[in-house]
Amino acid sequence: MREARFAELTPREVYGLCRLRVDVFVVEQECPYPELDGRDLEPATVHLWFEQDGEVLATIRVLDDGAARIIGRVATARSARGQGLAAQLVRRGIELCDGAAIDIGAQAYLEGWYEQFGFRRSGPGYIEDGIPHVPMRRESDEDVAAGTTVTG
């Protein structure tokens, strides 16, 4: 598992991360959207990925959104699916959030998968780039201790 902020990435690593995300989201899922949204460059953003022989197999990014964190751009190469790579990355992403609340805009068919990490639906479903999504949140340690939750 690799972990770096944008300024620490080599050009080859940036290319590999972007290529995988475009291959999965734009090509495979047929969703033309602005993949390069500027958030990768934010100083607090952390990129996590697995690679083998220079090829990125799976990746996520962790964003600081003020009171909460966001885990997004969860992508696994078709050839690497079923190996648990994304689950390992999400677990590490959660650790990096140091107990803060974490939001995810999950593709609807993955809602149950994200629930295994403590995420719960936090609002009504929506369509993004033609794909059904659900907002999900993993409560902060502070909210869990206080018994406060966000429900949809």
pLDDT value of residue 15: 94
Integer Rg of the chain from CA: 15
- Per DSSP (E only), the strands in 68-138 are 68-76, 101-107, 120-121, 126-128, 131-138
Contacts of residue 56, defined as CB under 8 A and 6 or more positions apart, other chains included, come to 13, 16, 17, 19, 20, 49, 50, 77
Please compute the mean of the pLDDT values over residues 16-39 and round it to a whole number.
87
- Residue-by-residue DSSP string for 93-108: HHHHTTT-EEEEEEEG
Higher model confidence: residue 152 or residue 39? Answer: 39
Exposure string of 96-131, with b = 16+ CB inside 10 Å and e = fewer, is ebebbbbbbebbeebbeebeebebbbbeeeeeeeee
Q: H or E stretch including 125?
A: none
pLDDT tens figures, 100-150: 999 999 999 999 999 999 999 999 999 988 899 999 999 987 777 777 655
**Segment among 2-6, 18-22, 36-40, 59-63 with least mean pLDDT:** 36-40
CB-side exposure of 11: number of CA atoms within 13 Å? 0
Pair 31, 37: CB distance under 8 Å: no
User: What pLDDT is stored for residue 148 in this prediction?
Assistant: 65
**Residues 146 and 117 sit within 8 Å (Cβ to Cβ):** no
d(CA 84, CA 32): 27
**Does the pLDDT of residue 20 top 60, yes or no?**
yes
Whether residue 151 has pLDDT greater than 60: no
44-76 pLDDT per residue, tens:
999 999 999 999 999 999 999 998 999 999 999
SS3 label, residue 31: coil
Task: Please give the model's pTM, rounded to 2 decimal places.
Answer: 0.89
Q: What pLDDT does 147 receive? A: 72
